[in-house]
Amino acid sequence: MADVSGAGRAVAAEGQIAFAFAHQPRFDEMGFVAARSNAAARAWLFSGDAVHSWSDGRLVLWGGAGRGKTHLLRAWAARRGALVVGCEAGLPDAAGLMEREPVALALDSVPTREIDELALLRTVNMARERHVPLLMAARLPPGRWTVSLPDLQSRLRATMAVELRPAEDALLLRLMLRLLAERQLVVSRSVTEWLLHRLPREARAVQEVVARIDAATLVSGAPLDRSGAARVLAEMSGCGE
């Protein structure tokens, strides 16, 4: 279970204005919720010197949204002193990466289609030639990425991949309790269990409901009860329609 972060909140007394500090997610190893669904990934990242067992020094973490790929990637990067590059806006330039002389490299949110194939190939080759461990996070395993360059196809086929599987109930409960603690929210166990039975079995649904609980209780100034939890769920369902 994670320690409570520095995030804070203040609830308004009658006639006063409520305010809250911005919640900052934690991406360290201690803040990650361990479970069977992510055990294989944790083993390949943190067991001994597992990086030396990666094929060609590369590993791809893959799985659906909200399963902890970014969290694990950043925790690994912190342990290895790796350079972290988010690829939401495109893949990095390999020449620019080489100038920074990283001891390890972590590419987050690597696209799996409409890829800048030449940029990815150059980055993979640079890491391979310089013996720089390369960790990537993506929605799909590398064998299912849409690429056409034969050399890149070959490199991806030789890349190890480990799936972050869907979260089990125990993980979702621990995740909800951790997120509530980080936001300094007090919700009874009966209400959290009631919510979990009705939420989609996805970590991102838990993250969303906690954010909505934070907003709702900040406005009301009262702890969340069953009727308040029902309103939060109704709002979430309405947004999805």
Predicted confidence at residue 17, as pLDDT, reads: 41
pLDDT tens string 5-14: 444 555 444 4
Nearest-5° angle of CA 102, CA 50, CA 125? 40
Indicate if 51 and 146 belong to the same structural domain: yes
Provide the domain limits for residue 15.
Answer: 9-30+168-240
| Model pTM score | 0.77
Asked if residue 156 is part of any domain, the answer here is yes
Distance of CA 107 to the CA centre of its chain: 13
Q: Are strands 58-62 and 160-163 parallel, antiparallel or unpaired?
A: parallel
Residue 224, pLDDT score = 93
Q: What is the pLDDT of residues 103-152, one digit of tens each?
A: 999 999 999 999 999 999 999 999 999 999 999 999 999 999 999 999 99
Cα separations (Å) of 26 from 4, 31, 43, 139? 10, 6, 20, 21
Name the domain count of the chain.
2
Report pLDDT for 16.
42
Report how far apart, in Å, the C-alpha atoms of 94 and of each of 11, 102, 136, 181 are: 48, 11, 15, 41
Question: In terms of domains, do 179 and 98 share one?
Answer: no
Q: Taking the alpha carbons of 42, 68, 195, 222 in that order, is the dihedral positive or negative?
A: positive
- Establish if 1 belongs to a structural domain: no
CA 91, CA 115: separation in Å to the nearest integer? 8
Residue for token pair 């086929």: 157
Residue 2 has pLDDT above 50, yes or no: no
Q: At which residue do the structure tokens 């079995």 appear?
A: 201
Distances in Å between the Cα of 182 and the Cα atoms of 5, 61, 161, 234 are: 5, 26, 31, 24
| Burial grade of 145 (CB within 10 A; 0-12, 13-18, 19 or more) | buried
The pLDDT, as a whole number, for residue 29 is 64
Strands 58-62 and 134-138: parallel
234 and 218, same structural domain? yes
Where helices occur in 19-103 by DSSP H, the ranges are 39-46, 69-80, 94-99
| Residue 211 and residue 197 share a domain | yes
Whether residue 153 is found in the same domain as residue 44 = yes
**Phi/psi at 74 (5° precision):** -75, -35
- In contact, 210 and 71? CB cutoff 8 Å: no
131: domain CATH number is: 3.40.50.300
CATH code assigned at 177? 1.10.8
Does a structural domain hold residue 3?
Answer: no
The contacts of residue 113 (CB under 8 Å, 6+ apart) are 145, 146
In percent, the amount of the chain with pLDDT more than 90 equals 69
* Judgement on whether residues 41 and 22 belong to the same structural domain of the protein: no
